[in-house]
Every structure is written in C-alpha cells, then in structure tokens.
Structure 1
C-alpha cells in the first residue's frame, strides 16, 4: 500500500515545496504565485481518494503536512527584509490550515464517492476544504484578534483598513488577501475537474 502511494506522496511534497517557495513572489497586488500551485494539493488528495480510498488519501495528506513542517522550519531560519521569512503565526496557520482542510476534503469526498455526478465529489470536497483552508490560514496568520499567539510579530500592516480588493467596503488588508486567494482556489477547483476526469478515465480504462 505504502509503495503504491509513492507517486502521490512525491506529487504532494512537490506541490508543498513549490508553494512555500512561490509564496515569496507577488502576483499583482493581492496574490502570490503560490496561490496558483497550492490548490493542486486538493487534486492529488482527491485522485488518491478515488483510486486508493480515504485511508490512503490521509497518508498522503500527512506526508504533505510533514513536508510543510520542514519547509516552515527552514523558513524560520532565513532572514528577509523584515525578519524571518516564516513567522510562528504563519507556520501555525499554514500547518493547521493544510491539515484540517485536507482531512475535511478527504471526508467529504469519501461520503460523496457514490454521488450520481462524477464531478460532485471532487468539486464539493475541494470547495469546502479550500474555503476552510483560507479562513484558517489568513485568520491565524494575520488577524489582530490573535496577536497573542506571537506578540513580538507586528501584523499591523495586515490590519490596515483599506477598500476590499481596492474597490469594496473598507476592511483589514488581510481580508482582501484572503478573498483574492479564495477566489483563485474556487477557480482552480473548477479547472481541476478536467485533469481529474481525464486521469480517472485513463486509469479506469487501463484497469479494464
């Protein structure tokens, strides 16, 4: 079982590492390049769940979680312009968001495994997981309400009151970042249905 999961584990680890690197590079005003790679983790989880079951998918998630911890530990040792690239709050938010959201994705997908539409399980599980992921990460990493998690970490910049996404009602900056990130996750959840369908068809045809 474990050996058969090696491709999925390697894919998950690659996505986590790439996302941790690309999150350092801005894409426009509200996003980083990591926003475009991280959602692929849900595709890996769902494909594993589809072919190997929920227990196997959880093993792949735990492997990704372990990889994320290593990336966070490395990031805390690298000094950027304003301090460590990875603060305690970012590390906590990232790890907690990944683990909780991915495990929820596994559970939702498994319960919808026999849904009439082939797209329902991967789409709904990813949408639910992605939404929780965004809420946990940005809330934990930047919300002023959780400043007690790391008092020495100045997150006042993330709580500056600005128009939401530059045009909406006034809100803390981190909410704009969260909404932009969440929007990309939703878009990629739809896009990911295509490779999900193609891979499932090919794998099913090979077995037949």
Structure 2
C-alpha cells in the first residue's frame, strides 16, 4: 500500500468517526443529565449573572469533546480543506437524519406497539418516540448553525496559531482553537434555540447557561490533550514518518 493510499484511508476513517460522533451527539442531546448526581457529588449551586442552579448538561456533551479532538487531528494532517469537507458532510448528514426522524414519527404506529412498553413505565410508546426524536426546529437550527460556524472558526484559529508556532506546541493550537470556536458555539446554539425560539430566555439566563456550557467544554478539551498526542503518534506510525511529515507540511501551507 502506497503512502497516498494510507493517507486516503486514514482520512476516510477519521471522517467516518467524526461524522458518527457529531450525528450521535445531536440525537442523544435531547437528554439533560445532572453532572453532580452522576458523579455522586453534592449539588454545586453556581451563581452567574443573577442566575443559580446545579450542573446540568445535554448528553451530547459526552461526545462533543471527541469531535473537538477529531477536528484538531484532521486539521493537523489534512488542513482547512479536510476539516471543511468533513464539517459540511456532518451537517448534511445531521439534517438528513432529522428529516427521516420526522418522517418516522409521522408513520401511523401499529396499535399493539403503542402500549408495548407500558410495564416499563412508558404507556404511550409513540408519544415517547416523538418526544425523543422530534427535537424542535429552533433547537435543530441553533445546533447545526452553531456547529458549522464553530468548525469554520476553529480551523482558521488553528492554522493561525500553527503559522506562529510551526510544529511546536501542538497543545496550544488545539486548545486555543477550541477556546475561540466553542466560545462562539456555546452561545450561538442557545441564542437561536432558546432566546429567538419559543422559550424566549432572558439575557442573564442565556449568559449564565452559555458560560457554564463553555466552561465544561473547555475542561473536557484540556483533559483530552493526551488523547490528541496519542492519536497524532498512532497516525504517524500508520502513515510513516515521511508521509506524515508531508501531510502536515501541506496542511500548514493550506
């Protein structure tokens, strides 16, 4: 297998993993979980912008940090074109998934299926199915828009830091690009979904929840820095040092 073939296969694997995580994050994100209860900790009553509460996040936050790492890895070896390709592909497939989720909700349920989970505490399976998969259009619009803008910002900041640092300080361009892109992402998604949307959140609540979400994402991004270095080493081993260096140089040139 030639070096170019290995590079193409690696991009295919990275793109598949990236898109899968982004798509799953969108669909499981309908669940809100309590971080303190999950970790067995007493509730932390934060107070920001006159708002207070415990640490509640969408289940999608379990996967978004992985997407951040995948973005940085693709950016490292395949540059702006690689990240933009997989980002637009992810957006297209997320929208495709939601279209078919809505079509599936609209199908007439079999009468026996509606009550099949009643003994599990779900008296109406159709209503539960619609509630889980039928996310509001404002939420979908906010999430997809924020994701795409965040990715485009991420790739630009990553490359700017790369030009300034060269091959050194991989962690800096990874966390620096995530810090800027997720600052944009965390507030845009909430603004479209909950400020412009039907719930009409007041500005203090929007700022408080956005700040908490941003803090959580950044903590995860920093914690996953070792994973970034591990993936970089594994990919270099798979591609070979010469081919990996060639890809990184081409990515740096844009």
Q: Shared fold (TM-score greater than 0.5)?
A: yes
Bigger RCO (CA 8 Å, 6+ sep): 2
Q: Looking at CA atoms only, which structure, 1 or 2, has the larger radius of gyration? A: 2
For the aligned residue pairs, the C-alpha RMSD in angstroms reads: 2.6
- Match of 1:113, SS state, is helix
Say if 2:207 is the partner of 1:181: no
Unpaired runs of 5+ residues, structure 2, are: 1-6, 35-53, 106-126, 242-254
CA distance in 2, matches of 1:177, 1:55: 33
Q: Which residue of 2 aligns with 1:113?
A: 162
Q: Which residue of 2 aligns with 1:53?
A: 79
Q: Which residue of 2 aligns with 1:93?
A: 142
Q: Displacement of 1:31 after TM fit?
A: 1.0
Q: Which residue of 2 aligns with 1:167?
A: none
Residue in structure 2 matching 1:130, options 182, 185, 190: 182
Residues 1:17 and 1:175: Cα distance change in structure 2 (over 3 Å): same
Q: Displacement of 1:204 after TM fit?
A: 3.0
Aligned length: 188
Q: Which residue of 2 aligns with 1:70?
A: 96
Contact 1:76 1:86 in 2 (8 A): no
Say if 2:17 is the partner of 1:11: yes
Unpaired runs of 5+ residues, structure 1, are: 148-153, 162-170
Moved over 6 A (4+): 81-84
Normalization by structure 1: what TM-score?
0.78
Residues 1:82 and 1:52: Cα distance change in structure 2 (over 3 Å): closer
Residues 1:87 and 1:52: Cα distance change in structure 2 (over 3 Å): same
